[in-house]
Structure 1
Amino acid sequence: MKDLKMETAEIKNGSIVHAKIENIGAGTLTGRFTSTKPNAPQKVYLASGWFNEEQERRVAKAEKVLRGLGLDVFSPREHQAPELEYGSVEWRQVTFDNDIDHIDWADFLFAIYDEEDAGTMMEIGYAYATGKPVLVYHEGHDIVNLMITDSLTAYFKDWATVSAYDYSRMKHLPYTGSVI
């Protein structure tokens, strides 16, 4: 073991995500790694609007259910940089950067789909593009956009299914309805 040398290239939230490992005399291995702390709760980014009573009700319920399952939840509505003027250029940049950083931080994204919040749709697309599992909760009976249905890992219609889901396995639960 004394012949190994590791140069860490990137550490996020205490976990090595990219490293260069050199075995003196035998070559170099470079790659992406996932290193988690034993028994650490899974980290979830909660994507949802909260701009009307129904959205507020759903996001509050999701926060409660997901935290009740022992998940480490980042909910953007709880991190709005109150020290900055809402809507200012500085507030917008801080909020955008914080949300993107936390999607990157998360193990997966849990989205509440209502097709009213364009920010949630963007967050779903970003998470999918970066290889994060996307789990979608949808109370409505409206037809779901195929860009959402075909990017998701699991689709939920009720909180009982959300609560019973095995988040350690991320089993595929497809959307089976009509799409637009």
Structure 2
Amino acid sequence: MPQIYLAAPFFSDEQIDRAKRIESALDANPTVKDYYSPRQNQKTENPEFSAPWAAEVFQRDVTNVMAADIIVSVIDYRDNDADSGTAFEQGMAWVAKKPIVVVNELQFPVNLMLSESLTAYVTAAETLKTYNFEQTPKIPFTGELF
């Protein structure tokens, strides 16, 4: 069973709620071995938002993207664009030839770089409870591009 990396912003209550619902869906999915969520792994020995904290969190997240078999990428928008950290992680996954399952619950128009790199496109966290992460079936992007 695959290891999942959850690339998702968690800067607002709405984004935190979405990330928690996705984590619950992954917990409930029998085809998921385990997942890593950066939201749950922000603590270090260094003061939050300090340079040493940032270096440690960055390295930990990059290591976990590379160790994952599949990336779940939440393209939740802020100021009409995807979260830059999430987009960075999705780009890393694409370069590493890992399947990418994109979640776009708000159904905003999607940048073509994100739509063209995905394996599966879903518009509800609930869908991840039954998505087969062992076979990663393709679900094409449908929606508005920019």
Alignment of 1:15-54 (within 5 A): 41-54=1-14
Normalised to the residue count of structure 1, the TM-score between the two structures is 0.74
Structure number with greater Rg is: 1
Normalised to the residue count of structure 2, the TM-score between the two structures is 0.90
Tell me which of 55, 58, 64 is aligned to 2:15. 55
In structure 2, the residue corresponding to 1:124 is in which secondary structure? helix
Q: Is the 8 A contact 1:45 1:106 kept in 2?
A: yes
Aligned twin of 1:159: 125
**How far apart in 2 are the matches of 1:169 and 1:61?**
22
In structure 1, stretches of 5+ residues that fail to align are 1-40
In structure 2, the residue corresponding to 1:80 is in which secondary structure? coil
Q: Deviations over 1:100-134 (max 9, x none)?
A: 00001100000111133211111111111111111
Q: Is the 8 A contact 2:29 2:130 kept in 1?
A: no
**How far apart in 2 are the matches of 1:160 and 1:85?**
35
Of Structure 1 and Structure 2, the greater helix share is in: 2
**How far apart in 2 are the matches of 1:160 and 1:115?**
19
**How far apart in 2 are the matches of 1:96 and 1:105?**
14
Aligned twin of 1:177: 143
Q: Is the 8 A contact 1:46 1:109 kept in 2?
A: yes
Aligned twin of 1:107: 69
Question: Identity of paired residues, percent?
Answer: 33
Q: In structure 2, what residue type is equivalent to 1:155?
A: Y
Aligned residues: 140
Of Structure 1 and Structure 2, the greater strand share is in: 1
Q: Is the 8 A contact 2:22 2:128 kept in 1?
A: no
Moved over 6 A (4+): none
Q: Deviations over 1:56-109 (max 9, x none)?
A: 000001111101114201000111133211111111111111000000110000
Aligned twin of 1:64: 24
Aligned twin of 2:47: 85
